[in-house]
Structure 1
Amino acid sequence: MQSIIYLSSFLLSGETVGNPNIYPYNVFADKEERLLIFGPITILYGNNASGKSTLLNIIANKLQIEGKEYATSNKYGITPYFTKFASECGYTLGEDEDGRQIGRLPGRSRYIKSEDILYEIKKIQQEQILNDGYVYEHIRRGMHKEQTEQLKNSDRMKQQMEYLKFAQEKYSNGETTLQLLDDYVESDALYLLDEPEVSLSPSNQTLLAEKINKMSRFMGCQFIISTHSPFMMGTLNAKIYNLDSKELKETKWTELENVRYFYDFFERHKKEFE
């Protein structure tokens, strides 16, 4: 299957406001370039406060993707600046396999935040919430009310609940995260992932990146991912935007500050590994 580009580009608002401290205008005020062109997998890299999570949420709000969050700047009055900024942004959709422009994003598209994953892990510890979450996920995917009633009393659900409770006891948070992302991601959709590597060991971060590569190539999914993990960036077949730069330029992962820090650190301790 050929990788599909659902979201081709996104243009950040170039408008200004009187107060330079108003969020999210202040986050991108120094950017000399505001256009991002996306590939099948695109990484938004940046240190803390670089705006990578904010940018994902702006995209999610502009496109009205499930999981979007509203942000406010109430201390500066009643003007909904976040919504205003998002409305001033622009975007273009991609093309389907026949070269025709896509009219709208797939309904399965989703914005998944690191706190969503951590919250789901916590939910697994509570049996009733686990049951409700399992049923809700089937409703979200289109199961009718009559079918959900049958599901609640089925041996299939009982077996699945036992499996999930067993998995919670057996597996670490990191391994549970990998399983949850498997459950979340369906074929043929756009996914915005905010630091999905949270709670994952380096080896599991690499496994996650390999999974995403396969989902992009074989499941027709497009991913836009915020991360500063060298293990993710070094494994993903992605174009990388450095949000720490004013030019918002595409960069090789080996040139990024966070990655260079790891490299220099291990170089200083090289003899200890010999």
Structure 2
Amino acid sequence: MLYLSSFTFPNDDMEFDFFMKIKRTCYDSFYPFKVLSRHGFERIDFEPVTILYGGNGSGKSTALNVIAERTKINRDSIYNKSNFYSDYVDMCEMHLKVDIPENSRIITSDDVFDYMLNIRNLNEGIDQKREKLFEEYLDAKYSSFQMNSIADYELLKKVNATKSKTQSRFVRNQLMGNVREYSNGESAFRYFTENIGENGLYILDEPENSLSPMRQMELMKFIEDSARFFGCQFIISTHSPFLLAMRGAKLYDLDENPVEVKRWTELKNVRTYYEFFKRYEDEF
């Protein structure tokens, strides 16, 4: 499915004209100006799955964040914007094939890490509360309590509850159970499958982080099926050879100047893997 058909970034001439008009000289950063134009990256023509490939600093995340900002899709984690960010985004142009669904969103590594930390912090809070309830149970059960006024009624109920229940039952009745914790890779994979629904535009920034090779292959299959059968469009930045090998994906190599569309087997990162395993082929 195609929602976003093409997107253009400012070229060198447009950026030069912009700088000639501004009078402000007190800034030492004009980000994201000059990040994409230095590689001649001016336009993306999308497929149902479009992948941006490149080394650190090549502008993959910048391009994704700019697209997300221009399309106004949902996002959770905040990100750094310079004083000129909105100026840059306003200079970008996009062409839609159909309206972008409201459930569309960008998912970054920060979103996934925050999700895993939130589960961990929630469980730590539950554990601390459980220990406090254990202490309350013992204090109430073995206290020599006497009711002197109506103000003592709540304490009386607690004392009676402790005498009629076991310690574990008393605690269970007042405390939710722990949220099941998975490994980082399992949690990351679950985050993607729970937050990617049908009929949406999804921008994924290096989704392979925290995923084992097997999980990356599962995510690849999930993305392929979502694009093929469930009306989703994906724009992805990645180094993962498994995601780069995705069937039908269109790959932009941001390490080239100007940026080129390539086959996954032509990419430097993939060639490095190939040459490494070829060198040790006899050991397999």
Secondary structure of 1:30 counterpart: helix
How far 1:250 sits from its partner (Å)?
1.1
Q: 1:113 to 1:33 in 2, by over 3 A?
A: closer
Partner AA of 1:71 in structure 2 = N
Q: Structure 1: give runs of 5+ residues left out of the alignment.
A: 74-79, 95-101, 132-157
The answer as to 2:50 corresponding to 1:35 is: no
Residue 240 of structure 1 aligns with an amino acid whose one-letter code is: L
Within 2, Cα distance between the matches of 1:129 and 1:44?
A: 38
d(CA) in 1 for partners of 2:247, 2:108: 19
- 2:116 aligns with 121
Q: 1:72 aligns with which of 54, 71, 81?
A: 81
Aligned residue runs from structure 1 range 52-91, under 5 A:
52-67=60-75, 69=78, 71-73=80-82, 80-91=83-94
Q: How does 1:99-118 map to 2 (within 5 A)?
A: 102=98, 104-118=99-113
1:26-65 deviation per Cα after TM superposition (whole angstroms, max 9, x unaligned): 2113233511100011101111001001100000111111
2:255 to 244, 247, 250: 244
User: Among residues 40, 44, 55, which one is paired with 1:47 in the alignment?
Assistant: 55
Structure-2 change in CA distance of 1:129 and 1:221 (3 Å): farther
User: Equivalent residue for 1:256?
Assistant: 267
Alignment of 1:145-160 (within 5 A): none
Matched, 1:13 2:10: yes
Paired residue secondary structure (1:92): strand
Q: Which residue of 1 aligns with 2:30?
A: 22
- Is 1:222 aligned to residue 233 of structure 2? yes
User: What is the Cα-based RMSD across aligned positions, in Å?
Assistant: 2.4
Q: Identity percentage over the alignment?
A: 40
**Aligned residue identity for 1:90:** E
Under a length normalisation based on structure 1, what TM-score does the superposition of the two structures give?
Answer: 0.75
Shift of 1:128: 7.7
Question: Aligned partners of 2:255 and 2:216: how far apart in 1?
Answer: 23
Find the structure with the greater CA-based Rg: 2
Question: SS at the partner of 2:260?
Answer: coil
User: Which range moved further: 228-237 or 47-56?
Assistant: 228-237
Partners of 1:67 and 1:27 in 2: CA distance: 22
Deviation at 1:237, TM superposition (A): 3.1
1:165 aligns with 2:179: yes
- Give the secondary-structure state (helix, strand or coil) at the position aligned to 2:223: helix
| Aligned partner of residue 220 in structure 1, secondary structure | coil
Structure 1 residue 197 and structure 2 residue 208: aligned?
yes
- Normalising by structure 2, report the TM-score: 0.73
Alpha-carbon offset, residue 236 of structure 1: 4.4
> For residues 239 and 165 of structure 1, do their structure 2 counterparts lie closer, same or farther at Cα, with a shift above 3 Å needed?
same
Provide the secondary structure at the position in 2 that maps to 1:124: helix
Q: What does residue 156 of structure 2 align with? A: none
Q: For residues 33 and 54 of structure 1, do their structure 2 counterparts lie closer, same or farther at Cα, with a shift above 3 Å needed?
A: closer
Gaps of 5+ in 2: 20-24, 127-172
Q: Distance in 1 between matches of 2:124 and 2:243?
A: 31
2:219 paired residue number: 208
User: Partner residue of 1:98?
Assistant: none
Rounded Cα–Cα distance in structure 1 between residues aligned with 2:5 and 2:257: 22
Q: Which position in structure 2 is the counterpart of 1:99?
A: none
Is the 2:123–2:179 contact (alpha carbons within 8 Å) kept by the matching residues of 1? Answer: no
Q: CA 1:130 to 1:219, structure 2 compared with 1: closer, same or farther past 3 Å? A: farther
Q: Distance in 2 between matches of 1:85 and 1:70?
A: 15
The one-letter code matched in structure 2 to 1:125 is R
Distance (whole Å) between structure 2 residues aligned to residue 61 and residue 237 of structure 1:
26
